[in-house]
């Protein structure tokens, strides 16, 4: 092959919008809001699994809480005819993520599992990703947090403890995904099977409102869920192409 045609091949490959290679997996979550009771067990599970610091009362009042997943509450109408609805919001792992383009040091990028990753070591703390994220799910470490004894004993050894000055957010429990992929490889299997990976929030949901899996296989539970007619994505009009689908029967 001549040098010129090699150059042209490379040019076409790297000028292709979207991803220059197909994903190995396409991890997706579906959240059935009709099943969600707003119990916030997912928040607690996430806190325990991912070593999320507890900032304390004072810092909470100043708006520096860290919650990778939060249950937003919206009230409609006036008491006594008030209606309350819940929506759990975590990182939506957008395929066209606004936060990724803005990071000057590429500390956040898309990996081969279709996940929006955050590399704590590389982060220099410009906080621009938090500004660019329309879902407001990126949380910043304003201090070095520590865990009073004996709480440090319950830290998850599979997850880092983040220092001051870095951004953090939901990873879809990437440590569990990695583990499942390792198992799959050890067993000589080629792919992770449906139901083999569950992030902490999915695992803990008492009403099974959260479903997680690989969207690439149309037989998977999550693929069925996201083809439900009730499905929608939060702020879909911003073209973020997010990987979290919500199911909700809308009152006409």
Partner 1 sequence: MVAETNNLGYTDIHEDVVRSIVKTGPKYYIALATAGGTTLLCFFFPWFYQLYYGIGAAGMNHPGVWGTYLASFIFWIGLSHSGTLLSCVLHLTNSSWRKAMYRSAEAMTLFSLVVAATYVMVHVGRPWFIHWALPYPNQMELWPNFRSPLMFDVMAITTYITGSTIFIYMGSIPDFAAVRDRTSGWRNTMYTLLSLGWRGTDKEWHRLHWAYTFLAVLIIPLAVSVHSIVSWDFAMSIVPALHQTIFAPYFVVGAIYSGTAGIVTVMFVLRKYMGFERYITKLHFDNLGKLLLVLSLLWTYINAVELFTSWYSGTSEEYEAVGFKLFGFYAPLYWEMILFCAVAPLLMFSTRFRTSFMPMLILSIVINIGMYTERFLIIATSLPRQYLPDAWGVYVPSAVEVSIMVGSFALFTTLFLVFVKIFPSVSMYEVKETMATPKLGSVAPASGSPA
Partner 2 sequence: MTSNVVGVFADPQSALTAAGNLKGAGFGIPELMSPVPIEGVEAVLGKKKSAIKNFTFFGGLIGGIAGFALAAGTAVLYPHPVGGRPIITMPPYLIITYELAILFGILFTVVGFLVSSRLPAIRNRVYLPEAAVDKFVVTVPYDDDDHFKRAEAILSNAGAEQIRQLGEED
**Residue 82: CB atoms within 10 Å:** 9
- For residue 238, state whether it binds partner 1 (rule: CB under 8 A): yes
Could you tell me where the beta strands, DSSP code E, fall in the chain?
A: 27-32, 69-76, 83-90, 108-110, 116-118, 139-140, 167-168, 210-214, 231-232, 244-247
First to last CA, the chain: 61
| Distance separating alpha carbons of residues 116 and 29, to the nearest angstrom | 13
- Which residue, 24 or 65, is less far from partner 1 as judged by CB? 65
| Distance separating alpha carbons of residues 21 and 218, to the nearest angstrom | 20
**Which residue from 48, 110, 142, 233 is in contact with partner 1, where contact means CB under 8 A?**
142
Smallest gap from residue 125 Cβ to partner 2 (A):
19
- For residue 80, state whether it binds partner 1 (rule: CB under 8 A): no
3-state SS, residue 116: strand
- For residue 136, state whether it binds partner 1 (rule: CB under 8 A): yes
**Of 82-90, 106-114, 188-196, 198-206, which segment contacts partner 2 by CB under 8 A?**
106-114
- For residue 94, state whether it binds partner 1 (rule: CB under 8 A): no
The bridge status of strand 210-214 relative to strand 231-232 is: unpaired
- For residue 120, state whether it binds partner 2 (rule: CB under 8 A): no
- For residue 7, state whether it binds partner 2 (rule: CB under 8 A): no
- The contact set with partner 1 (CB under 8 A) reads 59, 62-65, 70, 72-74, 89, 98, 101-106, 122-128, 130-132, 134-136, 139-144, 164-167, 234-235, 238
């Amino acid at each position: 092959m001549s040098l010129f045609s090699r150059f042209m091949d490379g040019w076409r490959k790297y000028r292709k919008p979207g991803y220059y290679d197909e994903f190995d997996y396409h991890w997706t979550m579906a959240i059935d809001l009709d099943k969600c009771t707003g119990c916030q067990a997912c928040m607690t599970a996430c806190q325990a699994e991912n070593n999320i610091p507890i900032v304390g009362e004072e810092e909470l009042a100043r708006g520096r809480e860290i919650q990778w997943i939060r249950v937003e509450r919206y009230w409609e109408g006036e008491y006594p005819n008030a209606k309350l609805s819940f929506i759990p919001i975590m990182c939506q792992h957008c395929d066209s993520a606004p936060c990724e383009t803005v990071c000057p040091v590429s500390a956040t990028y898309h990996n081969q599992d279709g996940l929006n990753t955050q590399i704590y070591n590389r982060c220099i703390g410009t906080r621009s990703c938090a500004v660019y994220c329309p879902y407001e799910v990126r949380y910043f470490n304003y201090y070095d947090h520590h865990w009073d004894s004996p709480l440090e004993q319950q830290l998850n050894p599979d997850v880092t403890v983040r220092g001051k000055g870095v951004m953090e957010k939901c990873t879809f429990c990437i440590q569990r995904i990695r583990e499942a992929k390792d198992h799959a490889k050890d067993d000589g299997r080629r792919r992770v099977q449906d139901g083999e990976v569950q992030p902490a929030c999915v695992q803990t949901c008492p009403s099974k409102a959260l479903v997680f899996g690989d969207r690439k296989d149309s037989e998977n539970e999550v693929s069925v869920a996201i083809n439900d007619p009730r499905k929608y994505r939060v702020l879909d009009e911003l073209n973020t192409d997010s990987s979290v689908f919500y199911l909700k029967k809308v009152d006409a």
